[in-house]
Structure 1
Amino acid sequence: MTIINDQYYIEQTLRGDRNAFSVLVDRHKNLVFSLALKMVKQQERAEEVAQDAFIKAFKNLKSYKGDAKFSTWLYKITYRCCLDVLSASKERYRSEPIEESGAHSLQGTEQILTTIERKERAALLNRCLLSLPEEERAVIWMFYYEELSLKEIVATTELSEANVKVKLHRARKRLLAIVQSQVEPEVINHYGQKRKR
């Protein structure tokens, strides 16, 4: 069975077939909601942002030129909707300071995390990820979880490639510092000793 690409449904929507747009919503709703949730941190608000993003995408579909993937274009709209919601509520999340702990210490934490079972690690990283400032959280999410390329992240955020790289670097460093501060010392010791055996 051949999967019809997004462009077909975009063209059908522009011809007046509203059902065609519902196919696009169905295809991309999880990605849109995931990004919104990572940025606004509350399920109800994320649902509102996702709905708003799809409404804006529908209204502006004529402006989609096809020079980037539809999903990238939709991500950009979602990202902007998230920033609007966050700035409107004047809610800036406090970010954990990057401790001046040495690279060795951060690397040690990273190695210990690799020994923690996958589910534990995923839950821990998700909690820590929510402690990052929204833009850093979004960039990390897009790059590692959604596996967008740097070019796609640049298109989504409208930041320069250099700026995206800097945000990724800072976010990784900050995330490791947060992980290090939140993992209980016993857990680190437990898994650290396991590795030595």
Structure 2
Amino acid sequence: MAQPDDRHFIDRALAGDTQAFALLVDRYKNLVYTLALRLIKNTEEAEEAAQDTFIKVFRSLDKFKGESKFSTWMYKITYNTCLDRLKKQKAAPYAVPIDDYGPRQLAVTENILDRLDEQQRHRAIQECLKLLPGDEAFLLTLYYFEEQSLEEIAQVLGIKANNVKVKLFRCRKRLGDIIRMKLEPEMISVYERERK
């Protein structure tokens, strides 16, 4: 039996059914926390940001008009809540230079990742995402793990889809650089020798 869609629970919650909202929270709690952690980089702060997000969602549920997916609307609230927290903290993100990183290095990194089994690849990417600045980790998580479209991400971030595409390209390059630094150099050299 198919699970009811988000609209079903939203309508019930708006009618006063708090259990329906609890089911929405349960459906999205892991994702909201993961996105908050990607952006804030601190588990306690991410937990608080996730709680704040759900409070804001509950208080403004009547403002959700269904013009986008509910998840997109919620991601936007998560993003803005985390940005507010970061502004208060004025935290400086970890930065990785990408000046010398070109298309060839990106292809090498992606091919190395292809050689890893799915679990190893997932773990390697998750570890490397932690080293990215929060906004970049957030963007890559939405695109690759939540499979949000460029248009949906643009709604979340409040920018145009073309800007998302540019940011995504830069984030992938930076992530590739981190992956190259983290993966064993032997794997890279073996792959590069095979390509010659």
Would you call these one fold, judging by a TM-score over 0.5? yes
Q: Rate the CA distance shift 1:162–1:184 in 2: closer, same or farther, 3 A.
A: same
Is 1:153 aligned to residue 153 of structure 2? Answer: yes
Q: 8 Å contact 1:35–1:138 — kept in the other structure?
A: yes
Kindly provide the amino acid, as one letter, of the partner of residue 156 in structure 1.
V
Deviation at 1:102, TM superposition (A): 4.0
> What corresponds to 2:17 in structure 1?
17
Q: 8 Å contact 2:140–2:171 — kept in the other structure?
A: yes
Q: Provide the secondary structure at the position in 1 that maps to 2:67.
A: coil
> How many Å separate the matches in 2 of 1:102 and 1:161?
23
> What corresponds to 1:144 in structure 2?
144
Is 1:169 aligned to residue 182 of structure 2? Answer: no
Q: Deviations over 1:124-179 (max 9, x none)?
A: 21121122222221111101000011111111111111111110010011111111
> What corresponds to 2:51 in structure 1?
51
Aligned Cα RMSD in Å? 1.8
Q: Deviations over 1:39-71 (max 9, x none)?
A: 122222221111110000001111111111111
Deviation at 1:115, TM superposition (A): 1.1
Question: Which deviates the most, 17-26 or 116-125?
Answer: 116-125
Q: 8 Å contact 1:130–1:137 — kept in the other structure?
A: yes
> What corresponds to 1:180 in structure 2?
180
> What corresponds to 1:93 in structure 2?
93
Identity of aligned residues (%): 45
> How many Å separate the matches in 1 of 2:105 and 2:169?
17
Question: Which deviates the most, 81-90 or 10-19?
Answer: 10-19
> Number of aligned pairs?
195
Q: 8 Å contact 1:106–1:180 — kept in the other structure?
A: no
Q: Rate the CA distance shift 1:8–1:188 in 2: closer, same or farther, 3 A.
A: same
Kindly provide the amino acid, as one letter, of the partner of residue 136 in structure 1.
E
> How many Å separate the matches in 2 of 1:140 and 1:171?
7
> What corresponds to 2:129 in structure 1?
129
> What corresponds to 2:31 in structure 1?
31
Q: Rate the CA distance shift 1:12–1:106 in 2: closer, same or farther, 3 A.
A: closer
> What corresponds to 1:7 in structure 2?
7
> How many Å separate the matches in 2 of 1:69 and 1:166?
23
Question: Which deviates the most, 6-15 or 88-97?
Answer: 6-15
Q: Where does the alignment leave 5 or more consecutive residues of structure 1 unmatched?
A: none
Question: Which deviates the most, 94-103 or 68-77?
Answer: 94-103
Deviation at 1:191, TM superposition (A): 5.9
Q: 8 Å contact 2:38–2:135 — kept in the other structure?
A: no
Q: 8 Å contact 2:41–2:134 — kept in the other structure?
A: no
> How many Å separate the matches in 2 of 1:75 and 1:137?
14
Q: Rate the CA distance shift 1:20–1:105 in 2: closer, same or farther, 3 A.
A: closer
Q: Rate the CA distance shift 1:18–1:164 in 2: closer, same or farther, 3 A.
A: same
What's the TM-score, normalizing by structure 1?
0.90
